[in-house]
Structure 1
Amino acid sequence: MKHLISISLLCFLCLGCSNSSKKNYNYYLNLVENQHEVIELVSNEGNSRILVSPYHQGRILTSTYNNLNGMSNGWINEIALKDSTKSIGGEERLWIGPLGSQFSFYFQQLAPIHDDNWKVPATMEAEPYQVVQTTPNYVKLSKKMHLTNFIGTTFNLEVNRKISNLSKETIQNNLNINVSSATKFVAFETEHQLKNLDTIAWTKDKGLAGLWSAGMYPGDDSVIIIPLKNNGRKQDVLTYLAALDSTRFVVKNNAVLFKGDGQYRSKIGVPPQYAPSIYGCYSKTNHRLTIIQYKKEQDTLYSNSYVSIQDKPYKGEAIPIYNNGSDFYELESNAPLKELRPNATTSHWHRVYHFSSTPSELNAISTKLLGLSLNDTNL
C-alpha cells in the first residue's frame, strides 16, 4: 500500500523544540551568527532583511519586513545549532528530487523502501555551500554533490545557487501589482542551475535528478491558497499521510484551501497540468499574505511522495505542500525531472513575497493574483 515518505523523520522529531513565532528576526540573527558565518541582504531602508547561512547549505534561514525587531517569517530549529544531526529548517532550502519511488535519493539503498530507512543525504543536509560572490543585493553559492538513488544509480552534479533581495520596483514588475506606501514587504528570489558532471547521460530507466525548493514557516492560522488550472477538481489533487476533512482541505471557487497550522501531519501535491505559476498563503493573525511564484515549465516528468516501487514514478506534483504535526508547514515548488546529457544543465527559480498591510490592501493583492478574496479563505 502506498504511503508518504516520512519527511518528519529527518528534523521533525522536534516535539520539544524551543521555537516560537514570537521571537523576532534579530533574535535569530544573533543566535546563528554567534556560531556560523551569516550573510544579510538588506534593502528598503533596512526594513526588508534576508538571513542566509552558507554553513547550512546556503539556506535562507528567515526574513523580515519590519527591520531588526520585526517578525521572523521562517521556522528555525534552535536545537540544530547544538545538535548537528538535526535540520536547521529555514525559510528556503534546495534539495534534489526525486523524493519518492525507486529513484529516490532518500532511502540509503536499504530494502524495502520504508519510512524507517529515510535519511537526507549529508551533501544536502550537513555540508556547507561555497560562497562564490556577495554584493549588497545578492549572494552566489555553489556545491558539488555525489548522490546515489535507491536502485544504485550514482549521480555527480554541480548546483549553483543565487539568492537575491527583491526591490519594490522588481516586486511590482514581477507580479504586475502596485504596492502601496502603507504596505510592508520583503521578497527574495532563489535561482538554481543543476549540471550533469557525469560522462554519461541520465535516463528515465535509471533515474533522474531535479531541483526542489522548499520553505518552512511557523504554524498558525495560515491557509494555503492554490488556484487550479484546467478545471482541476479536488480529486485531481494528490493527498498523502493522514485523512483530510473539510476543516483542513477543500476546493472552493476553483482554488485549493489547505490549512497550515503545523499541528496535523499531512501533505498535498498539485500535478503540473493543474498547477498555477503563482499561489499564496494567508495568515490572518500575522496580517501577512505570502505569494509564491516559481518557474513553471511544460514538461511532464515530476517527482511524487509515495514510499513504494512504482509503475509511474514520474507522475507527480509541481506544487507540494506539507503540514507538519509539531510546529510548522512548508511552501514548495518542484522543477521537472530531465534527461540530461554530460555537461548539460537544467534550472529553476523560486520567489517568495511577504506583504503586511490592512485587510483591504491584502485582499486587493489576493484578488488580483489568486482570483480569490481573502474573505473566502476560511477553513
Structure 2
Amino acid sequence: MKHFLYLVLSFFIVGCSKNIPKKNYQYYCTLFNNKTAFELTNNSGDSRVLVSPFYQGRILTSSYNNIEGLSNGWINENALTDTTKSIGGEERLWIGPLGSQFSFYFQQIQPLHDDNWKVPATIDAEPYKVIYKSNSNVELYKTMQLTNYIGTTFNIEINRNISILSKENIQKNLNIEVDNSTKFVAFETKHTLKNIDTVTWKKHTGLAGLWSAGMYPGDDSVVIIPLKNNGTKHNVLTYLAPIDSTRFIVKNNTALFKTDGQYRSKIGIPPQFAPAVYGCYSKLNNKLTIIQYKKETDSLYSNSQVSIQDTPYKGEAIPIYNNGADFFELESNAPLKVLKPNETTTHWQRVYHFNASKNTLNKLSKKLLGFDLNSAKF
C-alpha cells in the first residue's frame, strides 16, 4: 500500500549557492540543502515553495521573486542545533485542541498552566514519509499517537498534500484577475485525519481536529479579518496579554490586529463570525497575504484558553498569534469531530502572497476583504 511506501529523499535544490544575502529565500534554500528539503516551483520559477518532510512536512518558506526574492516564512535557526526548539516555518500541521482539559499540548503535566506547555514530539519533532512527489506537488503521510491532558489516547493517521498554485489556480479560487505587474506565490495544503482506533471518539473524553498554522517575520503587518454577521470587538476572543486599541481594533465590522512580533498576544474569531477569506498587509514589503480555508458549518471548535473549561468546544475558526520574539502566526482551525473507527475529517488552507503597487494591492483588498488598505494602520 502506498501509505507504507517510504521514498528516501535525495533531492537537492537547484540554483542555491553560498555567499548570498542573509534572510532572502536563497539563504534558506542553501541552509536546508542537506536537510532533505526540496522546492515546488511554478510561474517559470518565479514562484517557489520550500518543503521539508524531515521537519514534519512543513513548508519552510516561499518566494514570489525567484531564488533571490524575499523569504516569506519565519525560520528559527536555533532549532538546527537545538532539537528541543521548533524550526518554525511558513505552514505546518498541528492537531487540536490547544486549550482546555482536552489539549494535547500539556501532556498530563500538572497543573494545566501555560508554563507547562510542551508540544508532543510526534507533532513537532518527527518526520513525515513522502509517498508522492512532482515539481508542483508532494503527498506525505504519518501516524501519531497522542494523549490529551485528562489521559485519553488517540491513534491517528494523517495525509498531507502540498501543491504550489498557478496563476490560473489563483484567479479561479479567488475570482480575481492578477495583472502582469503583480508578483505572486501561492500554495494549498490539504489534510485528512483518520481515526485508526478501535473505539469512537467522544466529546466528554476529548476530540481531535486539524489545525493549519504559518509563522511569518514580524514587521509592520496588520491582519485584516472582515467579520460575518455584524461581528463586533465584543465577539472576538482574546488571549495572553491585555490587548489595547494600539494593537487591536474593529472598524466597520472588520477586525485589525497588529502583528509586529513584539508583543505576545492572540485573538480568535468564533466560527459564526469568521469569514472564509482573511488577509494580512505589509506596507513595508508592498505585500498582501490572503488566507483561504475550508469553512464548515460545524459548531465544535477548540479554543486557546489554558484552563479546565465548562465549554471546551466553544472556540475559534481563525486564531491569530503575535509572538514577543519576532514572529506572528496566521492560522485556521477545522472543527473537532466525533469520529468512529476508520472515519475521517478533512481540512484545506490556501496561502496567497501578492507583491505589487499600493494601488493594485488596494484593489485586491477591496474585492477580497471589502477593506481599504489606507485604513490598515494604528
Q: TM-score range by the shorter chain?
A: over 0.9
The letter for the 2-side match of 1:93 is R
Which residue does the alignment assign to 1:16? none
Contact 1:215 1:331 in 2 (8 A): yes
Which residue does the alignment assign to 2:137? 138
The letter for the 2-side match of 1:360 is N
The letter for the 2-side match of 1:220 is D
Which residue does the alignment assign to 1:4? none
Q: Write the distance in 2 (CA, Å) between the matches of 1:251 and 1:22.
A: 37
Q: Write the distance in 2 (CA, Å) between the matches of 1:178 and 1:47.
A: 18
Which residue does the alignment assign to 1:236? 235
Which residue does the alignment assign to 1:33? 33
Q: Write the distance in 1 (CA, Å) between the matches of 2:360 and 2:150.
A: 51
Contact 1:32 1:81 in 2 (8 A): no
1:353 maps to 2:367: no
Q: Write the distance in 2 (CA, Å) between the matches of 1:259 and 1:370.
A: 17
Q: Write the distance in 1 (CA, Å) between the matches of 2:137 and 2:38.
A: 10
Which residue does the alignment assign to 1:252? 251
1:326 maps to 2:320: no
Equivalent residues in 2 for 1:136-285 (5 A)? 136-285=135-284
- Aligned length in residues: 358
1:44 maps to 2:28: no
Q: Write the distance in 1 (CA, Å) between the matches of 2:208 and 2:286.
A: 38
Deviations for 1:33-52, whole angstroms, at most 9, x for unmatched residues?
13x11120011011000000
Q: Write the distance in 2 (CA, Å) between the matches of 1:257 and 1:335.
A: 22
Secondary structure in 1 aligned to 2:312? coil
The letter for the 1-side match of 2:125 is A
RMSD: 0.9
Deviations for 1:303-323, whole angstroms, at most 9, x for unmatched residues?
001111100000000000000
Which residue does the alignment assign to 2:6? none
The letter for the 1-side match of 2:91 is E
Structure 1 residue 62 displacement after superposition:
0.1
Contact 1:193 1:347 in 2 (8 A): yes
Which residue does the alignment assign to 2:369? 370
Structure 1 residue 111 displacement after superposition:
2.2
Secondary structure in 1 aligned to 2:168? helix
Q: Write the distance in 1 (CA, Å) between the matches of 2:62 and 2:138.
A: 15
Contact 1:22 1:71 in 2 (8 A): no
Structure 2-normalised TM-score? 0.94
Secondary structure in 2 aligned to 1:33? coil
Deviations for 1:238-296, whole angstroms, at most 9, x for unmatched residues?
00111111110000121000001000000000000000000000000000000000000
The letter for the 2-side match of 1:241 is L
Contact 1:64 1:186 in 2 (8 A): yes
Deviations for 1:74-113, whole angstroms, at most 9, x for unmatched residues?
0000111111111000000000000000000011112220
Q: 4+ runs of 1 displaced by more than 6 Å?
A: none
Gap change, CA 1:244 and 1:22, over 3 Å in 2: farther
Q: Write the distance in 2 (CA, Å) between the matches of 1:312 and 1:129.
A: 34
Deviations for 1:152-197, whole angstroms, at most 9, x for unmatched residues?
0000010000000000000000000000000000000000000000
Q: Write the distance in 1 (CA, Å) between the matches of 2:151 and 2:373.
A: 47
Equivalent residues in 2 for 1:8-23 (5 A)? 23=23
1:343 maps to 2:342: yes
**Greater CA deviation, 189-198 or 241-250?**
241-250
The letter for the 1-side match of 2:27 is Y
Secondary structure in 1 aligned to 2:44? coil
Equivalent residues in 2 for 1:296-307 (5 A)? 296-307=295-306
Gaps of 5+ in 1: 1-20
Structure 1 residue 333 displacement after superposition:
0.1
Gaps of 5+ in 2: 1-20
- Identity, % of aligned positions: 71
Q: Write the distance in 2 (CA, Å) between the matches of 1:242 and 1:118.
A: 17
Which residue does the alignment assign to 1:8? none
Which residue does the alignment assign to 2:292? 293
Which residue does the alignment assign to 1:3? none
Structure 1 residue 218 displacement after superposition:
0.2
Secondary structure in 1 aligned to 2:205? coil
Gap change, CA 1:273 and 1:22, over 3 Å in 2: farther
Q: Write the distance in 2 (CA, Å) between the matches of 1:39 and 1:349.
A: 22
Q: Write the distance in 2 (CA, Å) between the matches of 1:360 and 1:221.
A: 18
Secondary structure in 2 aligned to 1:205? helix
Q: Write the distance in 2 (CA, Å) between the matches of 1:82 and 1:285.
A: 32
Structure 1-normalised TM-score? 0.94
Which residue does the alignment assign to 1:58? 57
Structure 1 residue 22 displacement after superposition:
6.2
Q: Write the distance in 1 (CA, Å) between the matches of 2:114 and 2:91.
A: 24
Q: Write the distance in 2 (CA, Å) between the matches of 1:243 and 1:106.
A: 23
